[in-house]
Chain A
């Protein structure tokens, strides 16, 4: 998926038998195994360690939490679902591009989900909420948040903020980012329906 200049690649495998340690198997739901990595050529300066550093581990955990909320894991006890996301070009909103790409990949794999998961980042500069910021805008400082939303029911899967924002502004910021997520949902939905239409005419019996 390409969001502006940010390009993310998502691959989903499964559900399949738990590989590696059998002890991680959950008897009533599927284990979701995520890996977030950035290609060495994705940032302005060549990245030395694609994964294993703190930011990547944090992103991996966020992705895992987001999709554990969205995927109906209780249908696949003792199985494993792998989600691998890689950033090919990073220009702000990395986590959000990953979530959107992974949503489409999971849908393509036929894994049941409650709803689409659409994500967007938001910032608050000079008393205005700014949705989907680029790298330059993120680096300018100022409060930033990322929101992963289930658009139909407006349920929040993940809301992350790692700076300070006055609570008076919170409602406006959340409104702005929810609207941006719904716009992303419109784009993803149209692509999915077009693809469904195309494939169902090809396999018309």
Chain B
């Protein structure tokens, strides 16, 4: 059962009680706690925050994201992931095409563009969050990496719920990756080849 949500707009006073801690979407003005975004008030014990309907993506460690390469820099790629700062994909965090585990050399740096170029789409997992909010990602698994043929759908990140798996196969022959950042990738299910372990 959903009780009536307390909906606020910027400038509304949420409470004058000073015992609460202020979370996202609020700010203090003197003694009063005011809302700074339009949304629903969420209260967890002593923490009050206001969740807006649409936000930029705020990364958490372990999230699956779908992003687009915007820049190729010295030892890393900059990836656009619908967040307030571009995310970073370090060269040491990708599986090299050859597949071997070795130190990244100068030749690898020069060959970065052959692997991922500006405009490519990748799926990756968030490894860490920098102090300024930028995400550090990795593609150290066979299920992540450059994406091939398919369709990208962009929705607001607030609509994607966090679940155990974000990779699904639909019965109609398509597969889907639900990125936590609101980018959804739909692609044809690759033919399964039999593999004996």
Contacts and interface: CB of A to CB of B under 8 A. Distances in A.
Given A72-B27, A152-B11, A192-B9, A110 B54 contact: yes
Interface string B67-88: 0001000000010100111100
Interface in B41-56: 52-56
Contacts of A109: 54
B11 A150 contact: yes
B7 A115 contact: no
Contacts of B112: none
Given A109-B54, A192-B9, A114 B2 contact: no
Contacts of B36: 72, 112-114
B37 interface: yes
Pick from B9, B10, B80 the residue with the most CB of A within 10 Å: B10
Interface residues of B, number: 30
Pick from B9, B34, B70, B78 the residue with the most CB of A within 10 Å: B9
A16 to B, nearest CB: 6
A192 B37 contact: no
A15 B37 contact: no
Interface in A150-177: 150-153
A77 interface: yes
Nearest to B85: A17
Interface residues of A, number: 33
Nearest to B86: A17
A199 to B, nearest CB: 6
A200 B27 contact: no
A14 B2 CA distance: 32
B157 to A, nearest CB: 10
A15 B56 contact: yes
B40 to A, nearest CB: 6
A200 B5 contact: yes
